């Protein structure tokens, strides 16, 4: 059944505020069914100032609360998320086209994030006492909030990834203005409703809807102390450039990937095929952690390719409500981009093993089939081999030496995830050191990160502010204190003083 969610406006100072002036109006159809209009709304750029002002005003009182007091609000939010888990999942599926099993997992991750942050991650920023930090003087490390954060979210995990910044920011005493992707405004709106339901003090959490320009105004706002961004390298770079003069601003940039899986001669091939099908094609290739390049030891090439190709052909693709493996791409532009990259691959000499096509399905949407290309060799100047495609495309390389596999892993400039399939622990350990990535998995897909571990990339994938378990660290400033409660002792005066 088609569902259009009414646009409630922006969430500012605890209330939804309708846009009176339309700086930009837009409508979204579900990528899974283009007859379904999911959202019709507008944005008003002046709401950015109002939302930041509201977050700024709410900050002192929120920061002054004890962590225990802030926890009670986050636990209420968890209850609101739990009670609305299926609602969240359905909205995410309608907006992104993700299969319901996957968006249900995303909604669960939002719930779990609260528990993990409160019970585990907070320990990383709990006040520490250091006895005798200087002779006779004890030291303390306090962690204080930074102020007002803007959170900029991507479309592909519209709930979980924004939540992954928002929860750590709030529990550590910061206030937040969140701008969701213009492709997924309803998920953001539902989150705001649940914040309201959880009874947060007005202004602690705010939401502004809009497009890239809204995001730009928000991240460059003078009263914003930090930017917690998840999205592409191109936009992350723009944010860095746009804020270069605001040197005080904290930037946590979680960006794209061009991730490599190495399948070595001794690998469990059945497992490697399964894990790499997940790696390449889950979420229709629209995860920063998806596998783009598979590097095969020459001895397993034929067997792996045969099994991988066969499995890829059998994947079920369709409407989210039918629980297929893959839903559609997010937009017509993404389909065009996906098809174009295959043309580029062909022009650059890659051999097509499986061509990805735009699909005609019973529901008209942005559906495509997976694609697999064999590249002639590592070429860092190749557009196909170095750009993030963000679609279900995998390129295959063959090598004889592990060193070559590492060179391919490091060739694109992105450095998010890599995985190694081998029984040989020494090779895995070589990759931990030699692969320029923030996540390195052993006998597992590049996808499927744990909120109990840090998540962040090197090179074009991030700016060394890992998120997930470590997010509480970039949300806080460590303040060192030397605490001296002794009375003045003349005998200890330095030479040359009276």
Closest residue by Cα to residue 38 from 346, 457, 330? 330
Which of 239, 267, 396, 472 is in the footprint of ligand NAP by CB under 6 A? Answer: 239
Q: For the sheet containing 371-374, what is the strand order?
A: 351-354, 371-374, 393-399, 291-297, 259-263, 417-421, 439-442
Closest residue by Cα to residue 224 from 200, 237, 208? 208
- The span from the CA of 264 to the CA of 43, in Å, is 51
Q: How many CB atoms lie within 10 A of CB 250?
A: 18
CB 343 → ligand NAP: shortest distance, Å? 21
Segment interacting with ligand NAP, rule: CB under 6 A, options 52-60, 208-216, 316-324, 401-409: 208-216
Q: Binders of ligand NAP among 346-405, rule CB under 6 A?
A: 388, 390
Q: Is 341 in the site for ligand NAP (CB under 6 A)?
A: no
Q: Which is nearer to ligand NAP, 187 or 398 (CB)?
A: 187
Q: How far is CA 202 from the centre of its chain?
A: 27
CB 468 → ligand NAP: shortest distance, Å? 9
Q: Is 189 in the site for ligand NAP (CB under 6 A)?
A: no
Q: Is 459 in the site for ligand NAP (CB under 6 A)?
A: no
18 φ, ψ (degrees, to nearest 5):
-70, 150
CB 376 → ligand NAP: shortest distance, Å? 26
Handedness of CA 46, 243, 151, 171 (dihedral sign): negative
Cβ(371)–Cβ(344) below 8 Å: no
Binding residues for ligand NAP, total number by CB under 6 A: 32
CB 153 → ligand NAP: shortest distance, Å? 5
Q: Is 208 in the site for ligand NAP (CB under 6 A)?
A: no
133 φ, ψ (degrees, to nearest 5):
-60, -35
Segment interacting with ligand NAP, rule: CB under 6 A, options 116-124, 170-178, 210-218, 362-370: 210-218
Q: Is 182 in the site for ligand NAP (CB under 6 A)?
A: yes
Q: Which is nearer to ligand NAP, 211 or 269 (CB)?
A: 211
Q: Which is nearer to ligand NAP, 285 or 307 (CB)?
A: 285
Cβ(382)–Cβ(345) below 8 Å: no
From the candidates 53, 102, 254, 275, which is the catalytic residue?
254
CB 136 → ligand NAP: shortest distance, Å? 46
- The span from the CA of 474 to the CA of 465, in Å, is 7
Q: Which is nearer to ligand NAP, 29 or 70 (CB)?
A: 29
**Angle 236-240-246 from CA coordinates, rounded to 5°:** 145
Q: How many CB atoms lie within 10 A of CB 453?
A: 11
Which of 14, 147, 203, 231 is in the footprint of ligand NAP by CB under 6 A? Answer: 231
CB 42 → ligand NAP: shortest distance, Å? 13
- The span from the CA of 382 to the CA of 396, in Å, is 14
Residue number of the CB closest to ligand NAP reads: 215
Kindly provide the residue ranges of all beta strands, DSSP E only, lying in 2-136, ordered along the sequence: 5-6, 10-12, 15-17, 24-30, 33-43, 128-134
Which of 32, 166, 235, 440 is in the footprint of ligand NAP by CB under 6 A? Answer: 235
The contacts of residue 105 (CB under 8 Å, 6+ apart) are none
Q: Is 52 in the site for ligand NAP (CB under 6 A)?
A: no
Q: Is 211 in the site for ligand NAP (CB under 6 A)?
A: yes
53 φ, ψ (degrees, to nearest 5):
-60, -40
CB 57 → ligand NAP: shortest distance, Å? 23
Q: Which is nearer to ligand NAP, 259 or 422 (CB)?
A: 259
For residue 288, indicate whether it is catalytic: yes
413 φ, ψ (degrees, to nearest 5):
95, -25
Helix, strand, coil shares of the chain, percent, nearest 5, are 40, 25, 35
- Measure Cα distances from 121 to 47, 109, 126, 456, 474 in Å: 33, 15, 9, 15, 12
Q: Is 154 in the site for ligand NAP (CB under 6 A)?
A: yes
Q: Which is nearer to ligand NAP, 283 or 476 (CB)?
A: 283
For residue 254, indicate whether it is catalytic: yes
Question: Helix or strand or coil: residue 140?
Answer: strand
CB 124 → ligand NAP: shortest distance, Å? 19
CB 387 → ligand NAP: shortest distance, Å? 10
Which of 174, 181, 283, 412 is in the footprint of ligand NAP by CB under 6 A? Answer: 181
16 φ, ψ (degrees, to nearest 5):
-80, 130
Q: Which is nearer to ligand NAP, 304 or 474 (CB)?
A: 474
From the candidates 43, 288, 290, 475, which is the catalytic residue?
288
Furthest CA-CA distance within the chain? 91
Segment interacting with ligand NAP, rule: CB under 6 A, options 82-90, 94-102, 233-241, 275-283: 233-241
Q: Binders of ligand NAP among 287-316, rule CB under 6 A?
A: 288
Handedness of CA 67, 68, 73, 78 (dihedral sign): positive
Q: Is 106 in the site for ligand NAP (CB under 6 A)?
A: no
Residues that bind ligand NAP (CB under 6 A): 152-157, 161, 179, 181-183, 211-212, 215-216, 219, 230-232, 235, 238-239, 254-257, 288, 388, 390, 416, 457, 461
Residues catalogued as catalytic:
254, 288
């Amino acid at each position: 059944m088609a569902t259009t969610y009414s646009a409630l406006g922006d969430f500012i100072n605890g209330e939804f505020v309708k846009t009176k002036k339309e700086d930009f109006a837009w409508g979204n159809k579900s990528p899974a069914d283009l007859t379904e209009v999911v959202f019709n709304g507008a944005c008003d750029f002046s709401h950015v100032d109002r939302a930041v002002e509201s977050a700024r005003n709410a900050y002192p009182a929120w920061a002054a609360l004890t962590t225990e007091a802030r926890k009670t609000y986050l636990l209420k939010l968890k209850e609101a998320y739990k009670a609305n888990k299926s609602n969240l999942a359905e909205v995410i599926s309608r907006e992104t086209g993700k299969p319901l099993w996957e968006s249900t997992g995303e909604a669960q991750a939002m719930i779990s994030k609260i528990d993990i942050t409160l019970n585990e991650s907070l320990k990383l920023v709990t006040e520490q006492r250091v006895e005798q930090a200087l002779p006779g003087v004890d030291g303390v490390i306090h962690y204080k909030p930074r102020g007002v954060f803007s959170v900029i979210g991507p479309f592909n995990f519209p709930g979980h990834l924004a939540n992954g910044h928002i929860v750590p920011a709030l529990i550590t005493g910061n206030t937040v203005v969140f701008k969701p992707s213009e492709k997924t405004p309803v998920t953001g709106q539902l989150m705001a409703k649940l914040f309201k339901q959880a009874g947060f003090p007005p202004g602690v959490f705010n939401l502004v809807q809009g497009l890239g320009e809204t995001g730009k105004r928000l991240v460059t706002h003078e009263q914003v102390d930090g930017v917690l961004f998840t999205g592409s390298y191109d936009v992350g770079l723009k944010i860095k450039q746009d804020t270069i003069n605001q040197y005080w601003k904290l930037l946590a940039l979680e960006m794209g990937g061009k991730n490599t899986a190495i399948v070595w001669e001794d690998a469990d091939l059945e497992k490697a095929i399964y894990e790499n099908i997940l790696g390449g094609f889950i979420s229709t290739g629209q995860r920063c952690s998806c596998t783009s390049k598979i590097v095969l030891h020459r001895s397993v090439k034929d067997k792996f390719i045969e099994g991988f190709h066969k499995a890829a052909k059998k994947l079920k693709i369709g409407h989210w409500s039918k629980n297929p493996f893959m839903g559609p791409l997010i937009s017509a532009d993404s389909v065009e981009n996906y098809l174009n990259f295959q043309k580029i691959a062909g022009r650059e000499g890659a051999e097509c093993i499986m061509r990805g096509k735009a699909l005609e399905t019973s529901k008209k949407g942005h559906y495509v089939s997976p694609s697999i290309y064999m590249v002639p060799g590592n070429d860092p100047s190749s557009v196909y081999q170095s750009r993030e495609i963000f679609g279900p495309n995998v390129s295959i390389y063959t090598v004889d030496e592990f060193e070559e596999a590492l060179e391919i892993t490091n060739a694109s400039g992105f450095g998010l995830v890599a995985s190694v399939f081998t029984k040989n622990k020494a090779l895995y350990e070589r990759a931990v050191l030699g692969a320029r990535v923030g996540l390195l998995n052993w006998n597992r897909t590049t996808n499927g990160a744990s909120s109990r571990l840090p998540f962040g990339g090197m090179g074009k994938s991030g700016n060394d502010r890992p998120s997930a378990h470590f997010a509480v660290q970039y949300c806080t400033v460590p303040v060192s204190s030397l605490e001296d409660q002794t009375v003045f002792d003349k005998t200890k005066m330095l030479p040359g003083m009276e």
